[in-house]
Amino acid sequence: MLADARRVVVLTGAGVSAESKIPTFRDAMEGLWASFDPQSLATPEGFAADPETVTKWYDFRRMKCREAEPNPGHLALARIERELESRSREFILLTQNVDGLHRRAGNKSVVELHGSLEVWRCTETGEEFRDLPAPFDTYPPRTDRGTVLRPGVVWFGEMLPPEAIETAGERLDTCDLFFAIGTSATVYPAAGFSDLARAAGASTVEINPDATPASGHVDESVRARAGAVLPEIVELAFGAGDASPRGGNG
């Protein structure tokens, strides 16, 4: 399917990063953070009440992600993008992950549906800053003009970025192959993406060691770890070449 596809959409979730040992939101709430209520750390109200604690929490998670490395699943997805691009075929990666590992693995066509731990946004102007030095030296962090920065992630009760949803919808409407990888398919709108792709006539594939609510609606449910099976799929579709992890530049 992948070898023949012309317009590919991939949706990823926390499972793709599990093999890089990225703690999920809840897993990260250990040690010092164990006593906090998620509502106080991941809502606009929690941030308004205690911006110092909330930004310390996101900075802690940002540093944990920087310590992690992309795994073979991430690297295989980066190769899929390169292979399709070199054949003038379309590819887009829609991710619910905020850890930035897809970009670090080499994917360029990435839509971060839930934002990114590497993006911080001015609470007054909305201006976004990426890849700021870590850790910050004051909490909450501030711009040079002294205005407060907030994490560029989508909190409980917030809307997903409208342009991300629009791009996702356009690509789902026209794709001919859709993968849902490492996502429990329970959090909307991403949980509905495989049905949208199917309605558009695409073949649909799920990769997850466990069954999900989407498993019965897809053409192929591959019960395996992403890091184990994606490199195999890529090799079947495109051959063994391109061993270099970020490849392409010799």
**Residues marked as catalytic:** 114
Q: Between 7 and 229, whose beta carbon lies closer to ligand APR?
A: 229
Binder to ligand APR among 5, 7, 10, 19 (CB under 6 A)? Answer: 19
- The Cα–Cα gap between 33 and 54 comes to 11
Contact 114, 24 (CB under 8 A): no
End-to-end CA distance of the chain: 28
Binding segment for ligand APR among 13-21, 28-36, 60-68, 136-144 (CB under 6 A)? 13-21
- The interface mask with ligand APR, positions 112-151, x = CB under 6 A, is --x-------------------------------------
Task: Rule CB under 6 A: choose which of 116, 183, 203, 204 binds ligand APR.
Answer: 183
When the beta carbons of 4 and 158 are compared against ligand APR, the nearer one is 158
Residue span binding ligand APR (CB under 6 A) among the ranges 54-62, 74-82, 176-184, 235-243: 176-184
Distance CA 222, CA 162 (A): 31
103 binds ligand APR (CB under 6 A): no
Contacts of residue 209, Cβ cutoff 8 Å, sequence gap at least 6: 15, 223, 224, 225
Using DSSP's 3-state secondary structure scheme, residue 1 falls into coil
Residue found by looking up tokens 């905020």 in the block: 98
Distance, CA of 202 to CA of 71 (rounded, Å)? 27
> Would you count residue 3 as binding ligand APR (CB under 6 A)?
no
Three-state DSSP state, 64: helix
Residue 101, C-beta contacts closer than 8 angstroms, at least 6 positions apart: 16, 17, 20, 22, 65, 68, 70, 71, 74
Q: Coil, strand or helix: which one is 239?
A: coil
List the one residue from 55, 116, 203, 208 that touches ligand APR (CB under 6 A).
208
Q: Judged by CB under 6 A, which stretch of 53-61, 85-93, 131-139, 178-186 contacts ligand APR?
A: 178-186
Regarding 100 and contact with ligand APR (CB under 6 A), the answer is no
The answer to whether 46 and 40 have CB atoms below 8 angstroms apart is: yes
Count of residues engaged in binding ligand APR, rule: CB under 6 A: 22
Closest distance to ligand APR from the beta carbon of 40 (Å): 16
Nearer to ligand APR, 140 or 182 (CB): 182
Secondary structure letter of residue 155 according to DSSP: P
209 binds ligand APR (CB under 6 A): yes
Tell me the HSE value of 234 on the side-chain side, using a 13 A CA sphere: 23
- Indicate the residue among 204 and 212 with the shorter CB distance to ligand APR: 212
**Options 141-149, 159-167, 197-205, 221-229: segment touching ligand APR (CB under 6 A):** 221-229
